[in-house]
Amino acid sequence: MIRRAGIALGSNLGDRMALLGKAVSGLREIAVPGEPVLQAPVYLTPPLDCPAGSPDFFNTVVEIAWSGTPLELLHETRRIENLLGRERGHDRNAPRTVDLDLLYCGELVMSSADLTLPHPRLAERRFVLQPLADIRPDLILPGATRPIRELLQSLSPGTTLVPIGYAGE
Decide if 56 is catalytic: no
- DSSP H stretches of helix in 85-142: 126-135
Decide if 49 is catalytic: no
Distances in Å between the Cα of 163 and the Cα atoms of 28, 40, 84, 106, 139 are: 21, 9, 23, 27, 21
Catalytic residue among 96, 125, 126, 136: 96
Nearest to residue 102, comparing CAs of 94, 92, 112?
112
CB within 8 Å of 162: residues ≥ 6 apart: 43, 44
Catalytic residue among 101, 126, 134, 136: 101
Q: Is the dihedral of CA 129, 72, 10, 110 positive or negative?
A: positive
Nearest to residue 31, comparing CAs of 79, 67, 75?
67
Catalytic residue among 4, 99, 126, 136: 99
Decide if 149 is catalytic: no
> DSSP label at 64?
E
Catalytic residue among 4, 86, 125, 126: 86
- Catalytic residues, by residue number, are 86, 96, 99, 101
